[in-house]
Amino acid sequence: MSGRTSRVAAAVAAVLVAFAAQAYERTKSSQGACFYWPQRTVPFWINANRSASSASCAAPSGAETVAIEAARASFRTWTGAAQSCTDLVLEDRGLSASSIVGFDQRSGATNQNLVVFRDGWCSNEFSDTDPCWDVDPFTSPSAIEETCANLRNCFEDPSPLDRATIAITTVTHDPRSGQIRDADIELADWTGLRDGQSLGSTQPPEGWYFTCGTYPSPCGTYGQDSCSYIDLQSNVTHEVGHFIGLAHPCELGDGDCGQNSPFRDFVMFPSASLADFDKRVLHPDDLAGLCAIYPTGKAPVTCGSSGGGGGGCASAGGGAGILSAALALAALAWRRRQR
């Protein structure tokens, strides 16, 4: 195989689940099992390296950047510290020097659930025929560091349309049970180039311009201050939903996923609007999904192949066992787009 290819390593479906008269979607594996973390405390790390930042996301004197704090706030939104119906803990393990995304299957490997700010587009760094586009760490575990993204800390854009992607969450899971083994969030960040030049429309030339303030005026150029563009906290909050096992309530192109979509106010809606601060806070339907999967004092709720027939839900009784072979793993990459 040659040319640019997607890093999605498995076909995935989603199941619509009803809870407390609400609707939300859970992610399902290719074998029909809903995703979930088997442990109730899940760690995450943030790689703070960024080539550039909007002024609203920069570091105040003597403090970590506003961007890092915004990402941490996004994780807290999905935990028992903020929501009484769950006891899920997303544990902040601090900063990481690693920018290697994906599950390293090699013996003795240390994996981290990472948030990474990618430095612009990989197509600006690699030719169409570079072999890094075709690296699949699942079939070649020793090549995990040789993907385009991991080689240059760039955001993979296999086709021009992929520049409409704001962020991507890759979830490594056991397709038989739905148990999540690793999850990584990548943000298509600004390179720092073209300062003062137009941001473009839906395919920005040097990555997306993330902002952290709540200014009413929209940004028009890279580096512009006192304005809002792609709200970092809202978008990371969306990605953390994928991190814990939730899917989009609809998919772009579907009849119920347009401008008048009934799901448009959901945090898990698949596209992002400019200067959208409301999605820093969970919609009742997003909250229903969180609390149904990870109810306080109870085992995670499964569904699909490991939870009985008919797509029903069940509690995870003693866990689904430990993975014994690389073939038991699969990865799903969720892309977050702007419209």
Give mean pLDDT, residues 188-217: 93
Q: How far apart are CA 80 and CA 73, in angstroms?
A: 13
Give mean pLDDT, residues 143-159: 96
Res. 286 pLDDT band, cuts 50 70 90: very high
pTM equals 0.88
pLDDT tens profile 92-113: 999 999 999 999 988 889 999 9
Whole-number pLDDT of residue 141: 87
CATH number (domain holding residue 310): 3.40.390.10
Whole-number pLDDT of residue 107: 87
Res. 9 pLDDT band, cuts 50 70 90: very low
Inter-axis angle of helices 284-293 and 232-244, nearest 10: 30
**Residue 72 near residue 121, CB atoms below 8 Å:** no
270 found inside a domain: yes
> Could you list the residue range(s) of the whole structural domain that residue 86 is in?
13-338
Whole-number pLDDT of residue 231: 96
Give mean pLDDT, residues 142-155: 96
* pLDDT(22) > 90: no
Neighbour count for residue 1 (Cβ, 10 Å): 6
- DSSP 8-state class, residue 59: P
4 found inside a domain: no
8 found inside a domain: no
Domain count, the chain: 1
How crowded is the C-beta side of 56, counted as CA atoms within 13 Å?
21
Whole-number pLDDT of residue 112: 97
174 found inside a domain: yes
Query: Average per-residue pLDDT in the chain?
Result: 85
* pLDDT(214) > 60: yes
How crowded is the C-beta side of 273, counted as CA atoms within 13 Å?
13
How crowded is the C-beta side of 248, counted as CA atoms within 13 Å?
22
5 found inside a domain: no
Q: How many residues does the chain have?
A: 339
Q: CA triplet 149, 154, 156: central angle to 5 degrees?
A: 60
1 found inside a domain: no
Whole-number pLDDT of residue 212: 97
6 found inside a domain: no
